[in-house]
Amino acid sequence: QQQVRQSPQSLTVWEGETAILNCSYEDSTFDYFPWYHQFPGESPALLIAIRPVSNKKEDGRFTIFFNKREKKFSLHIADSQPGDSATYFCAASNSGGSNYKLTFGKGTLLTVTP
């Protein structure tokens, strides 16, 4: 059972456009939603994260939008740059009973074309 679904599998945008990456989850006890990015040949690294006390989290050009009712959250990358080309993973966890576990989506391969 896949608890975190991510779409699209791949996405190509032009430089300067806003890239939108989507995730949905099933477990209503999840309360922590990070996004990790992974550049080719490198390891994943935390990009930005949100807790559902807020519907929005911004960090520069990166914004998470969170919809608790629909169990969805998305990453918006404004003014996309070629250097943003990477694989992006959403994830979710429950800070209660399953505190050890961060469940990842399958990833979105983002390509930003100059």
Partner 1 sequence: EAAVTQSPRSKVAVTGGKVTLSCHQTNNHDYMYWYRQDTGHGLRLIHYSYVADSTEKGDIPDGYKASRPSQENFSLILELASLSQTAVYFCASSGNLGPSAETLYFGSGTRLTVL
Residue closer to partner 1 (CB basis): 17 or 102: 102
Among candidate residues 14, 17, 3, 9, the one with its CA nearest the CA of residue 76 = 17
* Residue in the block written with tokens 């939108």: 20
Amino acid occupying residue 97 = G
CA 9 to chain centre: 12
Residue closer to partner 1 (CB basis): 96 or 114: 96
Residues interacting with partner 1, by CB under 8 A? 6, 9, 31-32, 36, 42-46, 89, 93-95, 99-107
Minimum distance, C-beta of residue 5 to partner 1, in the bound complex (Å): 11
Residue closer to partner 1 (CB basis): 6 or 80: 6
> What's the CA gap between 102 and 30, in Å, rounded?
10
